[in-house]
Amino acid sequence: MHIVIPDEYQDIVPRLDCYKLIAGHTVTIHREPAADFEALVERLRPADVIVSIRERVAFSRALIERLPNLKLIALVGRNATTIDYAAATDHGVMVSTGKSNSPVAPAELTVALMVAARRNIVLEAERMRRGEWPMTLSHRLRGSTLGIFGLGNIGSLVAEAGAGLGMKILVYGQAQSAKRALERGYSVAESKAAFFEQSDVLSLHVRLRPDTRGIVGTEDLARMKPTALIVNTSRAELIAPGALLAALQAGRPGYAAVDVYDREPIVNGDHPYLKMPNVVCTPHLGWAEWDNFELYFAETFEQIAAYAAGQPLRLANPTVVPRG
């Protein structure tokens, strides 16, 4: 069986303990993203199984119908917005999923970015590396308001950390978020407008769905304080296209910490955020730590082993009639 793993640009998967679960199969790993669609088709054409690392590759109908050998897309994680599940089903391609969704690593990164950006750590570390000494003044966390947009599993951990640092927690989101906030003694914003106006640090923890795409718009960001920080470790598409860049250029909010982008990976420093001293950028590190990778990839490789043994799979498209 030929397994292809595209866009494995971290060069980490063969070093995972769980990699042994797919030993005995032909495995082709591509580090760099394909140059274009046709190059991607050529890379994936030999595959019986493709390991989809979260949302790094878009499995459109146009792509799936060009892969006649493909029988299984083994997804790393529980869901992906970049797979056309209907197209996969129409072409007899099974899509298996993981079962775990640990909030710990992304919550930790969110807090780290919040502290780093609020206290100018990255800016000052780089200035010191260049031999400079005069320092900027930063903003303390204690006593400031941490806005949590979506008090789910990740947002809850971030709120706990913020409260531990002496921050006032303000929550906005669906009814369930408001209910949890009140149960935990947090404040609930009276409105979306008030939420953006009152937050000194605002962290996005909303799941990306059709109804949440672009849920943060230009008018929301314009309400933020010039001293405020917005943190996004969730999905870039939660913010309307171009809205955050324009808002930062306009000075409201004054700062951003970003781990997710409309286009990934970003290479050769090719992004306007990287030229802005008031933005801290990390390369989609939210889930990227050893324990998470061992957990998620083990579940993916177990599904491939189950497929090879003719055993049932966890399918995102359970009505599929598999290719022979």
Q: How far is CA 254 from CA 47, 135, 246, in A?
A: 47, 18, 11
DSSP assignment of 19-70 equals GGGGTTSEEEE--SPPSSHHHHHHHHTT-SEEEEETTSS-B-HHHHTT-TT-
Q: Where are the alpha helices (DSSP H) in the chain?
A: 37-44, 61-64, 85-90, 104-118, 121-129, 153-164, 175-183, 192-198, 218-222, 243-250, 290-308
Q: Rounded CA gap, 259 and 234, in Å?
A: 8
Cα R_g (the chain), whole angstroms: 21
Q: Which residues are catalytic?
A: 235, 264, 284
